[in-house]
Structures are given as structure tokens and as C-alpha cells.
Amino acid sequence: MCFFAHPDDEVVAGGGTIRQLADNGDEVVVVLATDGGGSVKKGADAKTRKKELADSCRILGVKEFKILKYKDGEITNSQVWGEMTEEFIVLIEQYKPEAVMTFDHSGWYFHLDHVGVSLAALRAVQKSNHQVDVLLFNLFHPPGTKSRWPYVYQKKLPVTHEVDIRKVKEIKIEAIKAHQSQQLPFMVWLPGGMDKEYFQLVLASKKGKIWLEKSKIFKKV
């Protein structure tokens, strides 16, 4: 189960991993807190972004996605620590995922919606009656951030596992392009430098550790 904030978050840093999990026969459910309606480009709306998400998920092999009611750019602290956590718990207990993926606590680039979803997902995993065997933070920094913000971004991402996505790279590019309304800057630079996706292991049960060790997708760094 993947917890993200907006349409396009599902593919930016973990799309290749999601596709390989789907190819492996794993069922992946994508949960988004918002419909992205607060950050659309001119001529696009939440309906457009939902369609783009559906296209992206189809390309990535995701058969089910859910969009919750939170407003893009307006997620509050009380929502994160209250109703969002509770909604995430309900979904975890409903679907009983073996693994959960979400943003790291920096929200990739300190986007507050991303940070909030990361916190709520972590708390939901901790509080759920269903034991999640693996919790992974999906790591990503936009290019240039280390040089522009040397005192904000750590010099090295806290990577514990990486995924080689070269064999599904073109599929990821296709999924990225599904989000046409955003004219995303990473449409330009990702195709040339995205052979791997990176993760930080947050917690793992004994079963989860065995699953990761045997995984042909996740490689320990």
C-alpha cells in the first residue's frame, strides 16, 4: 500500500518499483490524500488530474487507487494527527498490506502535504491492529537541491535499499507523461538519470526482514 499526497507522487520516485512489484504478482494499492486540485496548471482541474492518475496507475500495473477528501495545499496539523491517521488505519486494516511505502519525513523537498502524509502513514502503521511487515520511506531530492541548500539537505540520502528500474524505465517515463496537465519539470531530467529508486527501511518484522532478504526487487545497500 502506497500513501502519497497528489496525483503524480505515485510515479516520481517509486513508479519503477511499483511496476516491478505488479509484474511480480503483488497487488499494489495507491492511496492519495488529495485530488491535486489546488496545484493544477491553467486549463486543468481535479477531474483531469484524476484521469491522469488513472492512466498512470494503469501503466504502472496498479489496479486500485483511492483519493481521499483532503484539499491540496491545505492539509493541517490537526488533520494529520487526527482524522488522516485514523483514515489510514482503516485502510490498512481493510486491505491488510504486507508492506507500506510513503514519503520520507522531509517530504522530498519539504512540501507540507508530503510531510503530513508521511507522518500520518507512520503513525497509522504503528497504531493499526494489522501488523505491517515492512515500512519503507521513498527517498528523493530534486536535482540541484544539494548545491542550492547545503545546510538543509543532507549530503547523502539515508538509503538502506535500492531498486534497479532500468528494465521498466520506459514504462515509468510513459507513466510520468500521463500527467500532462502538470508539465512536470522532471519530465525533462528524469529520463536521463533514473536507473534506480531509493528507499529507507523504517521498520520490519521478522517476516518482513526475510521478505526483503529474498526480494529480487529490493537490494540492500
Structure confidence by residue, pLDDT tens digits, 149-174: 777 777 788 999 999 999 999 999 99
What are the residue ranges spanned by the domains of the chain? 2-220
pLDDT of residue 37: 83
The pTM of this model reads: 0.93
Classified as helix, coil or strand, 46 is helix
- Cβ count within 10 A of residue 69: 11
pLDDT of residue 62: 98
Percent of the chain with pLDDT over 70: 90
* Structure confidence by residue, pLDDT tens digits, 58-99: 999 999 999 999 999 999 999 999 999 999 999 999 999 999
* Structure confidence by residue, pLDDT tens digits, 99-115: 999 999 999 989 999 99
Q: Look at the block and give the residue holding cell 510515479.
A: 11
Burial of 141 (0-12, 13-18, 19+ CB in 10 A): middle
CATH architecture of the domain 2-220 equals: 3-Layer(aba) Sandwich (3.40)
